[in-house]
Structure 1
């Protein structure tokens, strides 16, 4: 759904189209309205906009169950003002076949600009600033294993049991991709673990 919101005639810009799912920063809209804070308050009251965080707004999507926020990727991109990031949930480690079962309700965001936990549109995001991470299309089983080992201390799992399972299941991972992931993304501890397991495998 698209709504056209007209600016006063004295403004240079004639109006702006509010499209469902669109995310805006306050500064994106300031050029359209002379009393931006008052107008934003009015749009929120009228339901044309919803506030996602300080200075961050979105146009809700109407569904049979009520208003729905935009996709996480759209919120994060506008929050960071950058499209270089990786979104994932630690629950995805459960797909590795290591007996992990914990579920997590926080989305992790690897990025180059912000660090800390933030709530956007009522959803929790754990922003972690990192110099290097893959794109979503490059994420594979081997990256998830390396990333899980990097973050094992933060997971609500039996750490010793997980490490035993990793050692037993290493042959099921692609060796070349795993070595590449360890080199590109592995922490010092993860690299030591992998080196020890490789040495044991060759004994």
Structure 2
């Protein structure tokens, strides 16, 4: 059996692979990968990242974002977010964005994988799943990415904070806020306390 066929036997539809994952099954991995790409068995997504498409009635299904990011980072620990999620908070954000944010421990910067845009943000901590408190803190952290009027969004956030659980929000601020975001919320909490004190 040709060596390239041996390699092909280890490749499953719907999976994303790094070159390093496949090298153990080939004695000439770069040549074999090139052959499999030209046969349409796999697609090259980015430097050293390949995808074996899953065939459907509508053609090749693209890889799941999570599968793609996991292979790209060589890590299970990441949190994927969308700037569109802020629109659910009711603080005046309405724009739609194509790019997804990927919080992780390894990489920073913009990368295009399989024609999709991801902005990688290296962070010491990020949640496993979203919450209203995290979304609000994240919105202020990422205000510079947004196309909306910043002042108007900040005023709406200040309004929204009044109806939220302060203890949960303060805990989220301590865990995930950058320095500017922390300062913004601290001022808000102080002004709220002063209002109640009067």
What TM-score do you get using the length of structure 1 for normalisation? 0.89
- Number of the residue aligned with 1:198: 189
Of residues 19, 39, 61, the one that matches 1:26 is 19
Provide the C-alpha distance between the structure 2 equivalents of 1:82 and 1:52, rounded to a whole number of angstroms: 17
- Contact 1:7–1:15 (CA under 8 A) maintained in structure 2: no
Structure 2 residue runs of 5 or longer lacking an equivalent are none
Provide the C-alpha distance between the structure 2 equivalents of 1:158 and 1:33, rounded to a whole number of angstroms: 55
How many residues align structurally? Answer: 193
When residues 120 and 14 of structure 1 are mapped into structure 2, their CA distance, relative to the original with a 3 A threshold, is closer
Provide the C-alpha distance between the structure 1 equivalents of 2:81 and 2:72, rounded to a whole number of angstroms: 17
- Number of the residue aligned with 1:185: 176
Mapped pair 1:8 → 2:3: yes
* Superposition deviation, residue 55 in structure 1: 0.7
- Number of the residue aligned with 1:85: 78
Provide the C-alpha distance between the structure 1 equivalents of 2:24 and 2:178, rounded to a whole number of angstroms: 45
* Superposition deviation, residue 24 in structure 1: 0.8
Provide the C-alpha distance between the structure 1 equivalents of 2:187 and 2:96, rounded to a whole number of angstroms: 29
Q: Which moved more, 1:118-127 or 1:64-73?
A: 64-73
Secondary structure (helix, strand or coil) at the match of 2:184 reads helix
- Number of the residue aligned with 1:73: 66
- Number of the residue aligned with 2:99: 106
When residues 182 and 21 of structure 1 are mapped into structure 2, their CA distance, relative to the original with a 3 A threshold, is same
When residues 20 and 174 of structure 1 are mapped into structure 2, their CA distance, relative to the original with a 3 A threshold, is farther
When residues 124 and 31 of structure 1 are mapped into structure 2, their CA distance, relative to the original with a 3 A threshold, is same
Mapped pair 1:47 → 2:37: no
* Superposition deviation, residue 181 in structure 1: 0.6
Structure 1 residue runs of 5 or longer lacking an equivalent are 1-5
For the aligned residues, what is the CA RMSD?
1.8
What TM-score do you get using the length of structure 2 for normalisation? 0.91
